[in-house]
Chains A and B, each alone.
Chain A
Amino acid sequence: KAGVTQTPRYLIKTRGQQVTLSCSPISGHRSVSWYQQTPGQGLQFLFEYFSETQRNKGNFPGRFSGRQFSNSRSEMNVSTLELGDSALYLCASSPRTGTAYEQYFGPGTRLTVT
C-alpha cells in the first residue's frame, strides 16, 4: 500500500496570509490526525477526523481548522498566519480498529512564515 502523502512538502508564507495543507491517508484508513512540531513545543496534537467528523481537538486557536472528505483525504487550514505558526505539520492516518492502533505518519509539510 502507498504510504501517507502530504502536499506541499515545503511552503513559505507571509504573516496574515492563510494556508491549506493536504493529506492523503493510507487506503482504507478512516482516521486522520494532524500534529504541529516545533523545536520548542515538540509534537502537539491539532485534531483528528474520522469518517468526515472531527472527533478530537487539541488546544489550538480557532485559526486552525480542518476537514475530511468522503475519500478520507484531509485538509487543514491556518488563517491569519503568525510567525509562531512556522513548524513541521505532520499528518497521520490510522485504521482505528480495535482498542489500540498505531499511527502512520506522512513526511510532513514544512511551513515557514515570514
Chain B
Amino acid sequence: SQQGEEDPQALSIQEGENATMNCSYKTSINNLQWYRQNSGRGLVHLILIRSNEREKHSGRLRVTLDTSKKSSSLLITASRAADTASYFCATERTGNQFYFGTGTSLTVIP
C-alpha cells in the first residue's frame, strides 16, 4: 500500500502563476522528499525536508511539513512551461523504505 497521497491529482495553471500541491501520509516519518517525473522517465529529486524541519526553500520551490497533521505541501512559484511534469512525495520511515504517493500531474500553459 502507498504511504502518501497527493492532492490534487491534476493541476493546470498559466505560466507565471504559482502551483501548490499537497501530500498526506499515514505514519510517522524520518523525512519527506519531493520528486519530479517528466513523462515516462525517471524521477528527479527536488528537495528533502527532515521530520524536525517545518519549511525549506530551494530556488523557486518551497516545501512545508506539518508532522502533527501528517502533511506536506510543495509550492512552485512563477511557474514555467518546463515545470510541466508529475510530482511525487516520498516518505521515509524507519527501515529506510521509501513510500511514494500517487502523484500530482502539473500542466503549465505557456
Contact = CB atoms under 8 A, between A and B. Distances in A.
Q: How large is the interface on A (under 10, 10 to 19, 20 to 34, 35 or more residues)?
A: 20 to 34
A13 interface: no
Contact of A108 (B42, B90, B101): B42
A88 B40 contact: yes
Interface string B69-103: 00000000000000000001010100111111111
Nearest to A88: B40
B41 A107 contact: yes
Contacts of B96: 48, 55-56, 96
Interface of B: 1-2, 30-31, 33, 35, 40-45, 48, 50, 88, 90, 92, 95-103
Contacts of A42: 2, 100-103
Contacts, number: 60
11 contacts: A42-B100, A42-B103, A43-B2, A43-B43, A45-B99, A55-B96, A90-B42, A100-B50, A103-B45, A108-B40, A108-B42
Contact of A56 (B31, B50, B90, B95): B95
Given A43-B88, A56-B95, A90-B42, A102 B33 contact: yes
B42 A100 contact: no
A55 B88 CA distance: 24
Given A42-B102, A90-B42, A102-B45, 8 more contacts: A33-B98, A42-B101, A56-B97, A99-B30, A99-B50, A100-B31, A102-B48, A103-B33
Contacts of A100: 30-31, 48, 50, 92
A16 to B, nearest CB: 26
A56 B42 CA distance: 21
A106 interface: yes
